[in-house]
Each structure stands twice: as C-alpha cells, then as structure tokens.
Amino acid sequence: MRTPLTTIRGFAELYRQGAARDVEMLMSRIESESRRMGLLVDDLLLLARLDAQRPLERRRVDLLALASDAVHDAQSIAPKRKIAMEVLDGPGTPEVLGDEARLRQVLSNLVSNALQHTPETADVTVRVGTDGDNAVLEVADKGPGMTQQDALRVFERFYRTDSSRTRSSGGTGLGLSIVDSLVYAHGGKVTVTTAPGEGCCFHVSLPRISDVPAHVAESV
C-alpha cells in the first residue's frame, strides 16, 4: 500500500507547491493510484476472510458457462488480443459445488494476469473440461514465461518476477495469491507449468459435483 500512497502524496505536494505544469495529468495519476489502492484494500480484505476460513457460498456451478463469460469479458476489455476458449475431452460435465462469484474471480484473475504480463501479440487460451473425478480449468499464454524459481513463488503474496510481473502492469501483486487461496477453499489445487520463452499454463483442478471432499461439503 506504500507505493500508491507515496505517489499520491508526491503529486499532492507538487500541486500544493504550484510546481505542477500539467494539472490534468497530475489529477489523473492521483485518481489512478487511488483506484489501485482501493483494489489493494479489497484484495487484502478478501485474503483476511479466507485466512479466517469463513464459509463460502455453496451451490452448483457450471465452469463451462463461467469460462465462456470470462472469455467474452476479456475480449470486450482487450478487443485487439486473441483470446480463445477450448473444451477439453473428459467424462461428465465440469460442474462443481462452490461460490460462483469467487470462482468467477479465479478465472478473471488468471485471464487478467495473462493479459497484463504478456505482449499484445501473445495468444491467451482458456480451457475447461474434466479429468476423472475433477473439473479442470486452464489459462495458457504464449508470453515470456518464467523461470522455475519464479514459478515456485508465483502464488506468494506480493511476489513479482523481475521480467514480467512489474509494477508497470498496474496489478496489486495479490491476484495469483487470491487464486491459490480461493481454489484451496474449494478443495482444489492450482499449479503452473512454464519455462522462459515458452509462456505459462495455469492449471486449476476442482472436485466435481459428485466428488466433493468431506471437509468442503461440511460447510454447505
């Protein structure tokens, strides 16, 4: 939170001293950093709730519908980007028992991460399907990828890699940590497959509706 506050204070001081040559630009930056700070506070509050293990809403959720919505939303936000959806082969339907709003956030964070940390020419693909007893979501990109050292820490709070996860992307540094916490709260697991120059593939595995673990079903 220190970075946006420092920026806001700095621009406010320039304005107070009458040293700002472009007041419109200055106010725009203050507004932008204020929004960023608001997002950071929202993310921290969500993580605090997850850390406290407060129960999530539980209902039948169709991941295929969520994935389709996530792709359409991303295409409207970034119309110049190539964002595709694929349905993976597998038995049954990718339905899970969970909090629809939070599962939408999982997809939104993963797609946003792919768009923010890859060049505009890099393709992004959202995949959904089943794998045995699990429903599967994948978000893959053809961006710069990460080293294995970065991949091991990418779900840590506020962790940023040197190459792609820079502050210039405008993120809070909590998006992937929130994904990890939300997936865990649904009894699932998220992993990443990557290598420098080969892009990233984030893989989310969640128990399908008939195979929900007892420790998750207890809070229904």
**pLDDT beyond 80 at 210:** no
pLDDT of residue 2: 53
Percent pLDDT > 90 in the chain is 52
Q: Please check whether residue 160 is in contact with residue 173, taking contact to mean a CB–CB distance below 8 angstroms.
A: yes
Q: Where are the beta strands (DSSP E) in the chain?
A: 59-62, 83-87, 95-98, 124-131, 134-141, 189-194, 200-207
- What is the rounded average pLDDT of the residues 106-131? 93
Name the band, by pLDDT with cuts 50, 70 and 90, for residue 166.
Answer: very low
pLDDT of residue 30: 74
The b/e string for 96-113 (b: 16+ C-beta within 10 A; e otherwise) is bbbbbebbbbbbbbbbbb
Global confidence as pTM: 0.75
Q: In whole angstroms, give the CA distance from residue 47 to residue 164.
A: 23
pLDDT of residue 110: 96
- What is the rounded average pLDDT of the residues 141-160? 90
pLDDT of residue 214: 47
Condensed to tens digits (0 to 9), the pLDDT of residues 114-124 reads 998 888 888 99
Residue 126 bridge partners (DSSP): 85, 139
The token pair at 44 is 């921290």
